[in-house]
Amino acid sequence: MIQLSVATREGLKTARRAKVGYTRRRHQDPKTLRTRRYSQHPSLVLSGDWLAQAGFATGVAVEVSVQYGQLVLQALTPDVSAPEELSR
């Protein structure tokens, strides 16, 4: 788990807002390959430089713990390109 230095943690905005949207999935007939229907599924996209500042750089594996109304994200592998103060 990545631990941020006190200076880095103080510089981070600790609350962010996002909105759950949806993605569409196409269902096709296996024989004709024609579209039968589309289904909608909830989707949540997080992006921004703040993710890297919080220890979620590109390529870092993430564990998602799920509870009703709450998702907890935890970085599983340390960011090898993190500056010295971020990996303390």
Residue 46 domain-assigned (yes or no):
yes
For the chain, the domain total comes to: 1
Which stretches does DSSP call E strand in the chain? Answer: 21-28, 35-43, 62-67, 70-75
Residue 79 domain-assigned (yes or no):
yes
Residue 1 domain-assigned (yes or no):
no
Residue 38 domain-assigned (yes or no):
yes
For residue 43, what are the domain limits?
6-86
**Cβ 54 vs Cβ 73: under 8 Å:** no
Please state, for a pLDDT cut of 90, what percent of the chain lies above it. Answer: 67
Residue 13 domain-assigned (yes or no):
yes
Residue 76 domain-assigned (yes or no):
yes
Q: Which residues of the chain have pLDDT under 50?
A: 1-7, 84-88
